[in-house]
Structure 1
Amino acid sequence: MTGIDFPARFAGLDSDVLFGLEYPEGTDGPSDCDAPQEYVEQLLVVLADWRARLLDGTRSDADAYRSALDSVREAWLQYSFRWIGGPALPYPFDLPRTVRPA
């Protein structure tokens, strides 16, 4: 595997992070509605690079890639439908994973 720590770039990513980028001084302060999208676009570029490395065989951490991709999807989904005074949404939308008996 290469020295780039791709998984670390996605650690802690959730809709709160994106919401914090939009309102860096809190919800009473000014908003930067482009910041979350710009951040996600940067993450998509990272995912594209990571994917290419998985496909060419220079990386083997496909499970970590899938987890990062799921994190981006969930964060963007939650952020896209979140607004002050909006509905309470489940986090995450995924159903809990059940353990199947052996």
Structure 2
Amino acid sequence: MTSIDYAARFEGLSSDTLFALEYPSGDLDRPEDTDAPQEFVEQLLVVLADWRQQLLAGARTDADSYQAALDAVREAWLQYSFRWEGGPSLPYPFDLPQRVTS
């Protein structure tokens, strides 16, 4: 049985990914599919729910990758939801840089 590569589904996910779904032609003056970003995130949430179930059942051990994927979805949706022309300048990502320990 082949193991599902859940983490691959979240690689490169960012608010830019969601904006590209809303504006597939690149014309930022005319959104073409305003539902596409939400539908995409909903699909990712279904993947996360399945992945979580596999982790809780002990069938998988990649909890760190799961957490990274969950954080990527949160970050992308947060940035997408609050970014608009003339809006505040938001950091990307919101996370603080990791401290280097000696």
Q: Give TM-score, length-normalised by structure 1.
A: 0.92
Q: Does 1:95 align with 2:87?
A: no
Measure how far apart 1:84 and its partner are.
Answer: 2.5
Q: CA deviation at 1:32?
A: 1.3
Shift of 1:33: 1.2
Runs of 4+, deviation exceeding 6 Å:
none
| Cα contact 1:22–1:32 (8 A) shared by 2 | yes
Q: Figure out how many residues of one structure are paired with residues of the other and give that number.
A: 101
Scaled by the length of structure 2, what TM-score is found? 0.92
- CA deviations 1:51-94 (Å, max 9, x no partner) are 00000011000000000000000000000001133222100001
CA deviations over 1:17-48 (Å, ceiling 9, x no partner): 00111111111344311110000000000000
Distance apart, 1:99 and its partner CA: 1.7
CA contact (8 A) 1:2 1:59 kept: no
Task: Name the SS of the counterpart of 1:84 in structure 2.
Answer: coil
Root-mean-square deviation (CA, aligned residues, Å) is: 1.5
Structure 2: where are the runs of 5+ without partners?
A: none
Question: In structure 1, what residue type is equivalent to 2:10?
Answer: F
> Identity, % of aligned pairs?
72
Instruction: State the match for 1:78 in structure 2.
Output: 79
Structure 1 portions without partners, runs of 5+: none
Match of 2:11 in 1: 11
Residue number in structure 1 paired with 2:23: 23
1:2 CA drift (Å): 5.3
